[in-house]
Structure 1
Amino acid sequence: MTLSNENEAPRKLEGKFQARVVCFILGLGSLVAWSSMLTVGDYYYTLFPFVATSGKGGIGPYIVVCLLSACFGIADAHVQGGMVGDLSYMCPEFIQSFFAGLAASGALASGLRLVTKVGFENSKNGLGKGTMLFFAISTVFEFFCIILYAFYFPKLSIVKYYRSKAALEGSKTVSADLAAAGIHDQTNQQVEFDAKNLERLSNKQLFLQNIDLAADLFLIYVLTLSIFPGFLYENTGSHQLGTWYPLVLIAMYNVLDLISRYIPLIKCLTLESRKGLVIAVVSRFVLIPAFYFTAKYGDQGWMIMLVSFLGLTNGYLTVCVFTMAPKGYKGPEQNALGNLLVLFLFSGIFAGVALDWLWLIGKSGF
């Protein structure tokens, strides 16, 4: 493949819609396993009523579940880091579609979980059967996404265009991708690079130039994961919805998280100010006392509204950060910056999950 010149620019748009659909599906598939683990919380709470503190359900199975959860987290971090780095040197719509797919995985998992709960509610060991069916569907979809990314996505003309462009700008990882896909890379044809194209920023320089965006992502997910989903199972009390209550809360979060990731497609609703992003991210921390007092004194309607707002702001701010970050950089820097930002996103997830235990202080067994 030869890199398109300016007169051939319209050709690069061929397959753009298909690529966006694939990015959405890949986002959905990359997180569906982790979303599945989160969504079957009602099953885990049946097996381990007080998590690790009482020993009910068996310490062996509990350790296995924890190890599997850790494996999913490690795999998810590698996949998201690689995908975001790959899409960062392409058009912003691809990143938006991928992150919309991530949110869709939660919404799909919630929907499937509700269906399996209804389908097996009255059967013997219905909770366990529904959970196993739920995991089987998720596994099949994961394999489908692997095939889609390996064989279909690299053949789209717009993907070939952006990968060749990034390779010409000096991206070695993209050159390897092109070779693996059987696409002839112009870097092997002794193409003369402009000296400016060879000037690359180090990871340290990229970090210092984007420290505010990295902090934004860290803080977004510290807050979100300190509430979702653990708090929603542990601290929401008893309400009219009964055992359906936490599942409804999880579903509302996932649906609003998905919807909000399409808001930045409307230009006038996109938050492009870095200072504005910092203010919006920090302002979300008022949700911590809001959730505490709503769980203690409010009814289920107020809690559903708060959870919906949590999902709305999480998805919207995430997409705003990732679509803004790569602007103004060459392909190699865009790739590296995407990886760097995902590192801070997952650092925020890890910190948020750890801080989630603070809600349990003072409860029985702690």
Structure 2
Amino acid sequence: MTLVDVGDSPSRLEGKVSATIICWILGFGSIVSWNSMVTIGDYYYNLFPNYHPSRVLTLVYQPFALGTVAILTYKESKINTRRRNIIGYSISFASTFMLILLDLATSGRGGLGSYMGICALVASFGVADGCIQGGVVGDLSFMLPEFIQSFCAGLAASGAVTSALRLITKAAFSNSDNGLRKGALLFLAISTFFEFLCLLLYTYYFPKLPIVKYFRSKAASEGAKTVKADLVAAGIQTKDDQHEENANQVERLSNKQLFLRNIDYALDLYLIYVLKLSIIPGFLFENTGEHQLGTWYPLVLLAAFNVWDLISRYLPLVKFLKIESRKGLMIAILPRFLLIPAFYFTAKYGDQGWMILLVSILGLTNGYFIICVMTTAPKGYKGPEQNALGNLLILCLQSGIFSGIALDWLWLIGKKNAF
């Protein structure tokens, strides 16, 4: 097996900065289409006022994401990670482009048929997300923690950038005919471009970076089968029989053993996302009442969350600010659930300033704890185990999202015309 010399120090290999930037772009592109859908929620509420689009589209999206992640996590050790991620980005690119075509074909009209078409494309976003997040995070888990941090920061940046652009486009098109529609189409066009960019970078440039080849070669020497296609794409030829011999010689923990050893990290991610999705986006668009900002109000709240979520994902880079204690993380995450009654009473009695503050706190703690968990959990394991653990953590994260989406409907209890 011809591999990069795994005895080299990764600090001496070229490509770390480029890899970090590409990881950020891959994170940004992996979810920018879905964040665009969430951010243009005001457009869909204008088209489908009686269909609860922010809640329904999220509920359509998530089972497909969770189901895809669950299947691929179960088969993780035998899956071609390169093919998995390329398929994911390809589906996301094609689905975003189809959303534009659907809107053009229907001339921006509402109706059940158009809504069902959007739901079908949103389901494909879920499949793409299930392919990409587990595949990329699993891949980066046996590389540098900075790569995972950069990928996760890109995820948050997609929300912050789409929120900022939405505020700009809403202001720019506010006095023009079909202003909401023009802004929505612009969003989807930008998302389509970034999906295509991610597809090109991941397929042709990322595998050839020396530091990436080093870590994938190291994982292969520890028995990982998932990196074979990536090594071939990088010009590193492998012999099947020797690859199988390496895999058989290196024992690894099973997925069950990895899960049990890291059940606290899994629970951390589950709880983080249960809280987030029980509030965002449904609560912000439907339960915050009427305020001076009018139709701008949910967009401002969403922007506040996304900006602080992005900022907080860089805080753990400062070593003394990062929580690495497993018990400390759990103790810090649990009190966040006090935000639920805080949101309820603020929506009922408070003004918009207090709501913006609460959303900012939610975003600040959300991103910070995600990075602390995702960069700490893989330490101390072999390459194949780190890849498997990365997939397991994403599965728990997606489970938390699904549960949060289901709980988000509880805010509608007691409301008139809720269903």
**TM-score band, normalised by the shorter chain?**
over 0.9
Matched, 1:302 2:365: no
The residue that corresponds to 1:3 in the other structure is 4
Partner residue of 2:343 out of 291, 298, 301 = 291
The residue that corresponds to 2:49 in the other structure is 49
Contact 1:29 1:145 (C-alpha < 8 Å) held by counterparts? yes
Aligned ranges 1:265-344 → 2 under 5 Å: 265-344=317-396
Q: Residue 365 of structure 2: SS of its match in structure 1?
A: helix
Q: Residue 51 of structure 1: SS of its match in structure 2?
A: coil
Aligned ranges 1:170-185 → 2 under 5 Å: 170-185=223-238
Aligned ranges 1:249-268 → 2 under 5 Å: 249-268=301-320
User: What are structure 1's unaligned runs of at least 5 residues?
Assistant: none
Aligned ranges 1:141-290 → 2 under 5 Å: 141-185=194-238, 198-290=250-342
TM-score using structure 2 length: 0.82
More deviation, 91-100/351-360: 351-360
The residue that corresponds to 2:33 in the other structure is 33
Distance in 2 between the 1:189 and 1:134 partners? 48
Matched, 1:119 2:165: no
Contact 1:154 1:181 (C-alpha < 8 Å) held by counterparts? yes
The residue that corresponds to 2:16 in the other structure is 16
Contact 2:6 2:218 (C-alpha < 8 Å) held by counterparts? no
Displacement of 1:113: 1.2
Displacement of 1:92: 0.3
Distance in 2 between the 1:142 and 1:103 partners? 16
Distance in 1 between the 2:184 and 2:243 partners? 56
Displacement of 1:50: 2.9
Contact 1:3 1:186 (C-alpha < 8 Å) held by counterparts? no
Residue type at the aligned position of 2:185: M
Displacement of 1:127: 0.8
Task: Report the CA distance shift for 1:187/1:324 in structure 2 as closer, same or farther (over 3 A).
Answer: farther
The residue that corresponds to 2:192 in the other structure is 139
Displacement of 1:59: 2.1
Displacement of 1:318: 0.6
CA offsets, 1:123-160, max 9 Å, x none? 11111111111111111111011001111111110000
Distance in 2 between the 1:88 and 1:351 partners? 25
Residue type at the aligned position of 2:282: G
The residue that corresponds to 2:412 in the other structure is 360
More deviation, 68-77/285-294: 68-77
Matched, 1:74 2:75: no
Q: Residue 278 of structure 1: SS of its match in structure 2?
A: helix
More deviation, 152-161/11-20: 11-20
Contact 2:3 2:236 (C-alpha < 8 Å) held by counterparts? no
Distance in 1 between the 2:3 and 2:183 partners? 51
Displacement of 1:190: 7.9
CA offsets, 1:31-82, max 9 Å, x none? 10110111111111111223259xx942222222222222212211210010
Q: Residue 173 of structure 1: SS of its match in structure 2?
A: coil
Task: Report the CA distance shift for 1:52/1:291 in structure 2 as closer, same or farther (over 3 A).
Answer: closer
TM-score using structure 1 length: 0.94
CA offsets, 1:192-250, max 9 Å, x none? 8699x712111110111011111111111011000011100111111121111111111
Displacement of 1:191: 11
Residue type at the aligned position of 1:199: E
Distance in 2 between the 1:78 and 1:192 partners? 28
CA offsets, 1:79-119, max 9 Å, x none? 00100000000010000000000000001111121122122
Contact 1:52 1:62 (C-alpha < 8 Å) held by counterparts? no
Task: Report the CA distance shift for 1:11/1:298 in structure 2 as closer, same or farther (over 3 A).
Answer: closer
CA offsets, 1:272-293, max 9 Å, x none? 0111111122111101000000
Distance in 2 between the 1:133 and 1:186 partners? 48
Contact 1:271 1:320 (C-alpha < 8 Å) held by counterparts? yes
Indicate the RMSD between aligned Cα atoms, in angstroms.
2.0
Task: Report the CA distance shift for 1:314/1:18 in structure 2 as closer, same or farther (over 3 A).
Answer: same
Identity of aligned residues (%): 68
